[in-house]
Structure 1
Amino acid sequence: MKDANTVVLPRLALTEVSVEDPWGEDHGTAPDPATDTLRWRVAAWLVPALVMGALCLVRAGEPARSRGEVAIWSMAGSPLMRWWVEVLGTSGLALRALAMLATTAAAALVGGLAARLFAPRVGLLAGVIFALLPTSTRYAQEAQPYALTVFAAVLATFFLVLAIDRPKFGRFAVYGAAVLVLGLCHGLALLLLAGHGWAVFAFRRGVAGRWLVVAFLGALPAAAAPVLLGEQPGAQIARGSDPSLAVLAATPRELFGVTALGVVLLGLALFSLPLRRSAAIYTAWAAVPPLVLLLVAQATPVWLPQFLLFTLPAWATLSAVALARARARWCVAALVAIALLGVPVQVARWEPQGPSAGHEQAREDR
């Protein structure tokens, strides 16, 4: 009797889906040795900043439009603003310069952070998507704290990533300083810490104690500021509204500038649902603060889409993670579509008495 033929099976390579990446999220975003060069990493920082800076300059010297910006302009003669006015003047461009610089720096950081956590291609897409959003340009051209808040949120997340990767005292100290700036820019933006905390406890429990101490110390000045300044508790919160179904349905339009654009970005983000740390940080950043704000709004009228502007970088990056899996021509087509969807909003914003002017003013008067 002859032995049965021996079947030799080839040695199987390690599966592409590891324990840390059970959904294969690295597929299409892993660094390519042919393209993952210094110039592409620089491009992930530089190109979004150039796009954002160019968009900021379009009609940046127009008169103030929103109620909040008019209030800021009325402070031009106050001691707080006098040094700024003496250096740059009182023109619209001068008073908006700080917000424009903050948003431009935020776009660069969005690209740089995504390039670090994913790949340069993802960083480039994330930064450009953020720059093309109509709300990014709008609040970059308004002398209000929202642009600084977005920048501080990206900066805090950037230093959080550095701190949990290499838990050094200096890195946590810089993270705490960024949290302090975030809270002073807008108190409700400290909801970002809920997302940061989820990411820390889920993936880096060993540094959770240090994170809690630093986050508490960084947020403390913002919590104490109303008391020190003699403001009534909840004065800022009263500007919001109850989260009715109509208000919640309007949130994508108010947050992203166009309802269709919000639906597209939210849909793309669904394809980046994470079980891996890099994407999980962004998911926590994008989703946890709105959920916490919604819970708080059940007890007090605090819901306002502007309070969630600091989540825009996360939504842009999650969209970029999904989009980066497509071919280059589809990525370009998607960016063009995002830009075209935002054009009508950008044009209407500067109309003397555009159809949305009354609605905009009424919403801000609440």
Structure 2
Amino acid sequence: MNDAETMVLPRLRPAEASGEDPWGEGPGAVPGRPPAVTPVWRIAAWLVPALMMAALSAVRAGGPGPRAEEVPAWHAATSSWRDILHWGEVTGAPYHLLIRAWAEAFGTSELALRGPSVLAMTAAAALVAATATRMFGPGTGLLAGAIFALLPTSARYAQEAQPYALTLLAAVLATALLMLALERPTVWRLIAYGGSVVLLGLCHVVALLLLVGHCWTVFAFRRGVAARWLAAVAVGVLPAAALLWSAMGQGARLGSVYHPSSRLLAELPGQLFGRAAVGGVLLGLALFSLPLRYSAAVYSAWAAVPPLALLLVAQAAPIWEPQYLLFTLPAWATLGAVALVRLATRRTDL
């Protein structure tokens, strides 16, 4: 299969293009450029979600703590540098070292130690909106960022001193840089993408399952770039692989003792999205975004492939935890925004 804008449909003649792209997502073999808009509108598309996320995150970030899940971060903040490297899970050492350095500069209050998570989620909301704006237009970008900011789990993990907010930001950054690298695979863009993979793996090694979704995107749409992409990934995963090897050598556990039972899988939408009803709505909207145009397919692979990969891995190793999939939230939010805009466009055309 040659690189193409769709996986299934043959190359259409110009007269047929409108039938292939009824929502105006842009023709051609590279991601379609949205219509020209004013700079103010383009800035507002990412600034408004960022401000929403910052406000929602700060509401309870200074609340009483630490919560049970935050105890390791508080321990790291008040320990010596040497102690951090000798206790806890090896794979969590990069985050604990970051928290130790952060505490050195800003103190160990609840608000201070949750600051990295607040900043990471705020930056993630802005980047979610900016990337969706580039792929679909500012209206979709603004809506995607707003949906992401309003998800209950976005605010929750922004208010906790855990690595998941930073992991989510790294996943958004890696996917945004992947899109740039696939559009024009220069050396510097591939190096930037490889650096984002390093960051992703150091934040949380399980989040590297995002690369399975990236792999699907590359081999489905940009096979000519596959060798260079594989080289960037191979270098990018080395630090996380070294940490994982060290953790296995020390007999450390990567995650919980849970295998994905039918009960745990049934609870996943509520735990991942904060409310089961919210998860049901987003999943339903995402189904409307599944036609395999390049732009929507990138997000579909980001949203759906890592959970399936984790499910397969968890059959052999008990590492199933819903929060490990938090990095897929931006993809679900964007697919929901795409569906809503498409529905509005279809209603307008009737």
> For this structure pair, what is the TM-score category when the shorter chain's length is used for normalisation?
0.7 to 0.9
Q: How far off its partner does 1:15 sit?
A: 4.7
- Report the TM-score, using the length of structure 1 for normalisation: 0.80
Q: 1:279 aligns with which of 289, 296, 307?
A: 296
Over 3 Å counting, the alpha-carbon distance change for 1:234 and 1:281 in structure 2 is farther
Q: How far off its partner does 1:67 sit?
A: 2.1
Contact 1:114 1:120 in 2 (8 A): yes
Contact 1:226 1:233 in 2 (8 A): no
| Residue identity (%) | 60
Q: 2:167 aligns with which of 140, 149, 170?
A: 149
Q: Does 1:37 align with 2:38?
A: yes
Over 3 Å counting, the alpha-carbon distance change for 1:231 and 1:321 in structure 2 is same
Q: How far off its partner does 1:30 sit?
A: 8.2
Instruction: Give the aligned partner of residue 26 of structure 1.
Output: 24
Q: 2:47 & 2:257 partners in 1: Cα distance? A: 36
Q: 2:311 & 2:101 partners in 1: Cα distance? A: 39
Note the residue ranges of structure 1 that are not aligned, 5 or more in a row.
Answer: 1-11, 331-366
Q: 2:127 & 2:313 partners in 1: Cα distance? A: 30
Q: Does 1:67 align with 2:68?
A: yes
Q: How far off its partner does 1:229 sit?
A: 6.1
Over 3 Å counting, the alpha-carbon distance change for 1:161 and 1:255 in structure 2 is same
* RMSD between aligned residues: 2.2
Q: 2:39 & 2:238 partners in 1: Cα distance? A: 39
Contact 2:198 2:237 in 1 (8 A): yes
Instruction: Give the aligned partner of residue 307 of structure 2.
Output: 290
Instruction: Give the aligned partner of residue 269 of structure 1.
Output: 286
Q: 2:189 & 2:257 partners in 1: Cα distance? A: 35
Instruction: Give the aligned partner of residue 156 of structure 2.
Output: 138
Q: 1:39 & 1:72 partners in 2: Cα distance? A: 40
Q: How many residues align?
A: 311
Q: 1:46 & 1:196 partners in 2: Cα distance? A: 27
Counterpart residue type for residue 24 of structure 2: D
- Report the TM-score, using the length of structure 2 for normalisation: 0.84
Q: How far off its partner does 1:312 sit?
A: 0.3
Q: Does 1:125 align with 2:126?
A: no
Note the residue ranges of structure 2 that are not aligned, 5 or more in a row.
Answer: 1-13, 27-31, 82-96
Instruction: Give the aligned partner of residue 320 of structure 2.
Output: 303
Q: 1:159 aligns with which of 139, 164, 177?
A: 177
Q: 1:171 & 1:38 partners in 2: Cα distance? A: 25
Q: How does 1:54-93 map to 2 (within 5 A)?
A: 54-78=55-79, 79=81, 80=97, 81-93=99-111
Q: 1:321 aligns with which of 329, 335, 338?
A: 338
3-state DSSP of counterpart to 1:74: helix
Instruction: Give the aligned partner of residue 92 of structure 2.
Output: none
Q: Name which of structure 1's ranges 261-270 and 239-248 shifts more when overlaid on structure 2.
A: 239-248
Over 3 Å counting, the alpha-carbon distance change for 1:288 and 1:93 in structure 2 is same
Over 3 Å counting, the alpha-carbon distance change for 1:291 and 1:306 in structure 2 is same
Q: 2:247 & 2:333 partners in 1: Cα distance? A: 36
Q: 2:145 & 2:252 partners in 1: Cα distance? A: 34
Instruction: Give the aligned partner of residue 359 of structure 1.
Output: none
Q: 2:141 & 2:307 partners in 1: Cα distance? A: 24
Structure with max Cα Rg: 1
Counterpart residue type for residue 200 of structure 1: V
Q: How far off its partner does 1:141 sit?
A: 0.6
Instruction: Give the aligned partner of residue 202 of structure 2.
Output: 184
Instruction: Give the aligned partner of residue 106 of structure 1.
Output: 124
Counterpart residue type for residue 52 of structure 2: V
Contact 2:303 2:329 in 1 (8 A): yes
